[in-house]
Amino acid sequence: MSAWLLPDHIADVLPSEARHIEELRRQLLDTARGYGCELVMPPLLEHLESLLTGTGEALGLQTFKLVDQISGRTLGLRADTTPQVARIDAHLLNRSGVARLCYCGPVLHTRPDRPHATREPLQFGAEVYGHGGIEADLEVLLLAMDCLRATGVGSATVDLADARIVRALFTDVTVDAQALRDVHAALAAKDASALARLTRSFPSAAREGLAALVSLYGDAKVLDEARRVLPPVPGLHEALQQLRWLGGQIEGATVSYDLGDLRGYAYYSGMRFGIYTAGASDALVRGGRYDEVGAVFGRNRPAVGFSLDVKELVGVVPKRPLKAAIRAPWGEQEPLRAEIARLRAAGETVVCTLPGHGHEVDEFHCDRELVAEQGRWVLRSL
């Protein structure tokens, strides 16, 4: 095997894409800052028990494990940043009021989460801690939409769901964890026959309500149909009402509802959403409310947020034009060096042509050149 070959689903990022990724990263962080989000930078690896506590089996299977050569303890390379941000909110910040936090950094997956995906996403996310009301849900949704607009994403569809709907239907049902996972998987796959088999021993209200969820997806009419066919168990109609309100607040995007959508990590506790756009094989953004995420760290605060992969985002936004630059000769003359330094200090990109080489820069468009005229260095258009 050649020494320069990389592992499957791991790739170098070359100049054109790297420039684009960095520009998108900056736009995303600036947009989050506009909402009052503060940047945090959790470490890439932690003790495994801290990294995985309360996150569920799926994230554990996605996490690379290694042994710390100093302590001998098992470490994990993060596969998702949200648990780390919850730890920061719970233990390091320990604020009593609202905390708005954002982050952008690499995560590692043992396997790609879908065909052709990278195992090293660059995860950007924003989260609001400390407010359990629907106002924070809406703020996170609007921030996610503004992030996509800022980076040039075209038309989008926001798909809304709520984990409380399925939880409400399980009110009088006692099942083990594996049976619960199987029901969730059947709902996510909209497999009516598997769902009927898995729920045949359930009380009739729960069985019929879960069966109805398989077909409860589409536009706002779905919410009316859900009120008609789902049993009036506590909390269910409140969740439907809040979904309707949230959907009505979203402008500039198509809104749909999928009341049986349970994809994602196990810690979602309320509203959940995915944002889809042309060119992305799955949801470009996923988020929602996960109020229990901080409980394992001893501080169970309301929490809502979202994340996306900046590397995937690059593939669905328009290509960026090359940055305008100035071509200059290489030289030792003090006036030339002083003019180059002045231009760079003013924010210009100045590319010096080294002796024996022509113009070999692919990532900049040299539309001007620095030339000597009558004893002065001046700019000339190309």
Q: What's the pLDDT score for residue 360?
A: 67
pLDDT at 55: 59
Mean pLDDT across 224-248 = 92
For residue 233, what pLDDT is reported?
84
What domains, with CATH codes, occur in the chain?
A: 1-153+281-320 (3.30.930.10), 155-277 (3.30.930.10), 325-381 (no CATH)
Residue 185 makes CB contacts below 8 A (sequence gap 6+) with: none
Span 8-33, pLDDT tens digits: 999 999 988 999 999 999 999 999 99
- From the list 160, 46, 53, 30, the residue with the least C-alpha distance to 102 is 30
Residue 119 and residue 7: Cα distance in Å, rounded?
10
The model's pLDDT over 247-272, given as tens digits with 9 standing for 90+, comes to 999 999 999 999 988 765 467 889 99
> According to the annotation, is 267 in a ligand binding site?
yes
- 217 labelled as ligand-binding? no
The answer to whether 257 is a known ligand-binding residue is no
Measured CA to CA, the distance from residue 269 to residue 58 in angstroms comes to: 17
Annotated ligand binding at 268? The verdict is yes
Which of these ranges, 69-78, 203-212, 241-250, has the smallest mean pLDDT? 203-212
Say whether 265 counts as a known binding-site residue.
Answer: no
Q: Is 263 annotated as a binding residue?
A: yes
| Residues whose CB falls within 8 Å of the CB of residue 125, separated by 6 or more in sequence, listed in order | 81, 82, 85, 102, 103, 104, 287, 305, 306, 307, 308
